Structure 1
């Protein structure tokens, strides 16, 4: 099953590469412009948030490590965000290797702001982070439309 999940994540990475290539054509000021309709977040902010979510659930929670969360301002452009996602790819690879063969085994995990451990499976965590990324990908494309751009097709299956 690890091979299947790795193949699935490769599809996620491919869709992300299309999104990042699209974001690279945005004016730098638009990439970091806060939009009121999106809680004054920028496209850059949502991309960084997406990577931070992978780190939070797969590394800090599932593996019990303590990595500081990335600060949006330290990623001034798409190239820097791309490097952040290269690190994210390493986090995913570590998660996939660590939980090989244990995908549906519930584990008691400490989650910040929760007094009691939460029972979660490695598969649930993996599914959560990739669907979370796609949720924000849709928001990013809507944000770009509000800024006057015509979004490209960033689906896994592009036509």
Structure 2
């Protein structure tokens, strides 16, 4: 059974890692960040980073009923704007985890996204999906940075401290 503290810790560490990647990517100009690369489901770095945040917003917003919802990649002029949104979404998720009980986090609840009633899911498992999804696409973004001539720093799961800033 997952505890609020263990899930908060996992989420915070994930966002510390994402923050490091976003800081690196903010150094790239917009043209480079939007250059399409073959072999990726999301063809450019901006779209890849948008997708990471959008998925957390959608899934965790569906669990917590706190999603901004309806965002599009073009709503964010550059990676700096995406990073600010990432921080907002991370804070909404953290706020939910801080107020949710252990029982709530480990029992099935109806997911609600975009006003629609969805499947019954366990919030702790939804968060696990969000984290593993972020790491998958973080790897894709790191590979893109390498192909663009700007290799990303090490962004593995941080083992020290707790802060998503």
CA distance in 1, matches of 2:22, 2:42: 21
Structure 1 residue 34 displacement after superposition: 2.0
Asked if 1 retains the 8 angstrom alpha-carbon contact of 2:63 and 2:110, the reply is no
The 5 A counterparts of 1:62-101 are 62-64=63-65, 67-101=68-102
CA distance in 1, matches of 2:10, 2:148: 31
**Once the two structures are superposed, what CA deviation does each residue of 1:120-158 show, in whole Å capped at 9, x if it has no partner?**
101011111111111100000111122222232111248
The 5 A counterparts of 1:14-33 are 14-33=16-35
- TM-score after normalising by structure 1: 0.83
- The DSSP-based 3-state class of the residue aligned with 1:142 is helix
Asked if 2 retains the 8 angstrom alpha-carbon contact of 1:109 and 1:120, the reply is yes
**Once the two structures are superposed, what CA deviation does each residue of 1:106-129 show, in whole Å capped at 9, x if it has no partner?**
1233578x9x95231010111111
Asked if 1 retains the 8 angstrom alpha-carbon contact of 2:37 and 2:44, the reply is yes
**Paired residue total:** 155
Structure 1 residue 33 displacement after superposition: 1.4
- TM-score after normalising by structure 2: 0.81
The 5 A counterparts of 1:1-159 are 1-39=3-41, 41-59=43-61, 61-64=62-65, 67-101=68-102, 102-109=104-111, 117-157=118-158
Asked if 1 retains the 8 angstrom alpha-carbon contact of 2:60 and 2:93, the reply is yes
Asked if 2 retains the 8 angstrom alpha-carbon contact of 1:15 and 1:155, the reply is yes
Asked if 2 retains the 8 angstrom alpha-carbon contact of 1:99 and 1:122, the reply is no
Structure with larger RCO (C-alpha < 8 A, sep 6+): 2
* Unaligned runs of at least 5 residues, structure 1: none
Q: CA RMSD in A?
A: 2.4
* Unaligned runs of at least 5 residues, structure 2: 160-165
